[in-house]
């Protein structure tokens, strides 16, 4: 059916009325020739026809408007199943079409609203879960952050203590390095002294060898002396024997002289003198013997002394050889010690350097630990804020959920056609934080 506006209709109806009036006037005027009658009749006819037309037209309009009004009322009551019948092609049709479009849009809107509310609900559920997880995570982060903060604090303290200890260690290392340098100088001095000692010991040994050689040469006469003294003893024994024999002879001579009487008196004196001489000779011989014995005793002592001296000197030589050997060993050992201490000093310097580097790293670590502590504190605060925000989000979600429910409730107020109600069911609320 073609679209016709009311205005055109009205113009058309007016033109038809005018035409009817003109026809009536013309007809009446021809028949009657009365113009006024014709006019009056035409006016009355026009008024009657106009009223009829007006009634019909207005009735048609009111009827359609009432239909729209009824449909609007039903829609306002939530019945969106009502379809608007479009009959004419005038402006009311536009209204009907717009109304129908509006209803269609409203249906779509309600459907969308429903689906949106379901989606909101679903999203809310998911968001709630996420919020819960987020809250749990925030709690865990908070706990972890606190733990990290505590650990960072402890770590900072430990690192500080370790740094102090490292500083102490570095001082000790420096002292060790100084001590090592001092020890090295002392060991160097010891090497020089040991070398000097070894040289002195070698010189002493060579001197001792010389002394031993000379002593051996000097000792030979002393060692030969007992043989000579033994010979002297033999001679003195002979002398003593002669003296004894002489004594005996003189005694017997004096006895014989006595027996000879007065004539033997002179011989007796001679015999007595001889006896005295023999006695003197005997005493001299005995004195010589004693001297020889003394010499022998002294020689024995001297020999023993020489032997002992020789033994002692041999021992001394062995000792000095041992000392030389010991000095050599000492020198070797001291050189080894020097080398060891030198490498120890180098190692100590290296260690001190590494310890210093380690201490610097520890200082950096302390700084990092401090920063870590601050960051962890900030993290804890942020987590706390985040928790507050999450709680806010949760409350917002709840609000949104309530709104969604309200929207659903509102949507429930409207009846929709069957095909538009195929939407997913609302998920039950779970794990509300």
Partner 1 sequence: MKLFVFKSKDEFIGIESDYVYRIIDDLKVTPVPLTPESYTGLLYHRGELFDVINMRLFLGYPDEGSSETTRIIIIKWLNKKLAVIPDEIVGMIWIDDNSENTNEYYHEERKIRLMKPDYIWKKLSELSYGPNKI
* Stretch of residues binding partner 1 (CB under 8 A), selected from 76-84, 255-263, 292-300, 417-425: 255-263
Q: Cβ 266 to partner 1, closest distance in Å?
A: 14
Q: How far apart are CA 118 and CA 111, in angstroms?
A: 10
Closest distance of CB 236 from partner 1, Å: 13
Token couple for 139: 């709690």
CB of 255 to partner 1, least distance (A): 5
Distance CA 240, CA 234 (A): 10
Q: Does 255 bind partner 1 (CB under 8 A)?
A: yes
Binding residue for partner 1, selected from 254, 348, 383, 404, defined by CB under 8 A: 254
Least Å from the CB of residue 252 to partner 1: 5
- For the record, the structure tokens of 217 come out as 């040469």
Residue 114 or 275 with smaller CB distance to partner 1: 275
Sign, CA torsion 8/9/10/16: positive
Q: Where does this chain touch partner 1 (CB under 8 A) — which range of 115-123, 168-176, 226-234, 267-275? A: 267-275
* Angle formed by the axes of helices 35-76 and 6-32, nearest 10°: 160
Q: What is the largest CA-CA distance in the chain?
A: 269
Residue 90 or 240 with smaller CB distance to partner 1: 240
Residue 181 or 249: which CB sits closer to partner 1? 249
Residue position matching structure tokens 């209803």:
103
Q: Which stretch binds partner 1 (CB under 8 A): 3-11, 162-170, 253-261, 385-393?
A: 253-261
Contacts (CB under 8 A) with partner 1, residues 227-246: 244
CB atoms closer than 10 angstroms to residue 414: 20
The token pair that represents 103 in the structure block: 């209803």
- Residue 251 Cβ vs partner 1, minimum distance, rounded to whole Å: 5
Please, what is the minimum distance in Å from the beta carbon of residue 239 to partner 1? Answer: 14
**Which burial class, exposed, middle or buried, applies to 294 when counting CB atoms under 10 A from its CB (0-12, 13-18, 19+)?**
exposed
Q: Is 284 in the site for partner 1 (CB under 8 A)?
A: no
Count CB atoms within 10 A of the CB of residue 379. 19
Min CB(246)–partner 1 separation in Å: 12
- CA gap 271, 278 in Å, rounded: 10
Q: Toward partner 1, which CB reaches closer, 173 or 257?
A: 257
Please tell me whether residue 275 binds partner 1 under the rule CB under 8 A.
Answer: yes
Q: What CA–CA distance (Å, rounded) separates 189 from 196?
A: 10
In whole angstroms, the minimum distance from the beta carbon of 323 to partner 1 comes to: 56
Helix (H, G, I), strand (E, B) or coil at 185: helix
Does residue 252 touch partner 1 according to CB under 8 A? Answer: yes
Nearer to partner 1, 253 or 407 (CB): 253
- Figure out which of the listed residues 25, 110, 268, 334 binds partner 1, where binding follows CB under 8 A: 268
Q: Do residues 275 and 250 lie in contact, with contact meaning Cβ atoms separated by under 8 Å? A: yes
The reply on whether position 79 binds partner 1 by CB under 8 A is no
Which one of 5, 258, 339, 371 is in contact with partner 1 (CB under 8 A)?
Answer: 258
Q: How far is CA 147 from CA 59, 132, 140, 373, 386, in A?
A: 85, 22, 10, 10, 18
Between 56 and 260, name the residue whose CB sits nearer to partner 1: 260
Can you tell me which of 251, 270, 277, 423 binds partner 1, judged by CB under 8 A? Answer: 251
Residue 16 interacting with partner 1 (CB under 8 A): no
φ/ψ bin of 261: left (φ > 0), alpha (ψ from -120 to 50), beta (otherwise) = left
Residue recorded with tokens 């001296």: 309
Q: Is 272 in the site for partner 1 (CB under 8 A)?
A: yes
Residue ranges in contact with partner 1 by CB under 8 A:
244, 248, 251-252, 254-255, 258-259, 268, 272, 275
């Amino acid at each position: 059916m073609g679209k016709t506006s009311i205005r055109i209709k009205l113009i058309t109806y007016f033109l038809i009325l005018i035409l009817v009036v003109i026809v009536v006037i013309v007809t009446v005027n021809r028949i009657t020739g009365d113009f006024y009658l014709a006019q009056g009749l035409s006016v009355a006819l026009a008024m009657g026809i106009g009223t009829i037309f007006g009634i019909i037209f207005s009735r048609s309009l009111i009827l359609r408007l009432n239909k729209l009004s009824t449909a609007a009322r039903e829609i306002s009551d939530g019945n969106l199943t009502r379809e608007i019948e479009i009959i004419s092609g005038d402006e009311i049709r536009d209204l009907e079409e717009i109304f129908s479009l509006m209803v269609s849009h409203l249906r779509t809107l309600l459907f969308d609203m429903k689906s949106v509310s379901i989606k909101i609900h679903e999203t809310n559920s998911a968001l709630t879960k996420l919020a819960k997880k987020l809250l749990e995570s925030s709690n865990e982060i908070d706990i972890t952050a606190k733990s990290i903060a505590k650990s960072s604090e402890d770590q900072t303290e430990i690192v500080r203590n370790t740094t102090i200890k490292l500083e102490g260690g570095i001082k000790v290392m420096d002292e060790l390095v100084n001590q090592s340098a001092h020890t090295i100088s002392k060991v160097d001095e010891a090497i020089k002294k040991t070398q000097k000692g070894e040289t002195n010991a070698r010189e002493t040994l060579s001197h001792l060898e010389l002394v031993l050689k000379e002593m051996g040469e000097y000792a030979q006469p002393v060692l030969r002396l007992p043989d000579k003294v033994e010979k002297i003893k033999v001679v003195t024994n002979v002398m003593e024997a002669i003296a004894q024999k002489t004594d005996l002879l003189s005694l017997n001579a004096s006895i014989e002289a006595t027996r000879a009487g007065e004539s033997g008196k002179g011989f007796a004196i001679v015999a007595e003198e001889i006896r005295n001489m023999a006695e003197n000779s005997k005493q001299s011989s005995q004195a010589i013997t004693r001297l020889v014995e003394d010499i022998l005793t002294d020689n024995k002592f001297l020999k023993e002394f020489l032997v002992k001296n020789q033994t002692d000197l041999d021992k001394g030589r062995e000792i000095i050889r041992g000392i030389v050997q010991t000095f050599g060993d000492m020198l070797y050992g001291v050189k080894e010690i020097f080398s060891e201490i030198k490498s120890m000093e180098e190692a100590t310097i290296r260690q001190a350097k590494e310890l210093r580097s380690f201490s610097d790293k520890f200082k950096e670590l302390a700084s990092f630990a401090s920063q870590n502590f601050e960051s962890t504190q900030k993290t804890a605060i942020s987590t706390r804020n985040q928790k507050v925000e999450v709680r806010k989000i949760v409350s917002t979600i709840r609000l949104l959920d309530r709104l969604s429910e309200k929207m659903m409730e509102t949507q429930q107020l409207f009846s929709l056609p069957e095909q538009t109600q195929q939407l997913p069911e609302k998920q039950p609320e779970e794990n509300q934080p």
